Structure 1
Amino acid sequence: MIIDDKLLNQVSQQARKSERLRMNYNLHESLDAKAQRLFNALEPGTHLPVHRHRHTAETYILLRGLINVMFYDSEGNETERFTLNPSEGNYGVHIPSGQWHTLEVIEPSVIFEVKDGPYTPLSPDDIMSIKR
Structure 2
Amino acid sequence: MIIDNTLLDQVTQQAKMSPRLRMNYNLHDSLDSKAQRLFNALEPGTELPVHRHLHTSETYIVVRGRMNVLFYNDDKQLTEECELDPKRGFYGVQIPAGQWHTLEVLESGTVIFEVKEGPYTPLTSENLMTL
The TM-score, its normalising length taken from structure 1, stands at 0.98
Matched residue, 2:24: 24
2:47 aligned partner = 47
C-alpha displacement of 1:111: 0.2
Aligned to 1:117: 118
After superposition, give the CA deviation of every residue in 1:26-82 in whole Å (9 maximum; x if it has no partner).
Answer: 000000000000000000000000000001000000000010000000011000111
Specify every segment of 5 or more residues in structure 2 that has no aligned partner in the other structure, as ranges.
Answer: none
Equivalent position SS for 1:47 = coil
Alpha-carbon distance between aligned partners in 2 of 1:99 and 1:91, rounded to the nearest angstrom: 19
C-alpha distance in structure 2 between counterparts of 1:80 and 1:50, whole Å: 13
Which aligned runs of 4 or more in structure 1 are off by greater than 3 angstroms? none
Please state if 1:37 is matched with 2:37.
Answer: yes
Q: 1:6 Cα deviation (Å)?
A: 0.3
Give 1:18 shift.
0.1
Identity of aligned pairs, percent?
67
- SS at the partner of 2:97? coil
Aligned counterparts of 1:91 and 1:36: Cα–Cα separation in 2: 19
Q: Does 1:8 align with 2:8?
A: yes
State the alpha-carbon separation in 1 of the partners of residues 117 and 66 from structure 2.
25
Letter in 2 for 1:121: P
Amino acid at match of 2:116: K
Question: How much has 1:86 moved relative to structure 2?
Answer: 0.4
- What residue number does 2:104 align with? 104
Q: CA RMSD in A?
A: 0.3
Q: CA deviation at 1:100?
A: 0.1
Q: What letter is aligned with 2:106?
A: I
SS in 2 for 1:79: strand
Q: 2-side partners of 1:114 and 1:23: how far apart?
A: 15
Partner SS for 2:15: helix
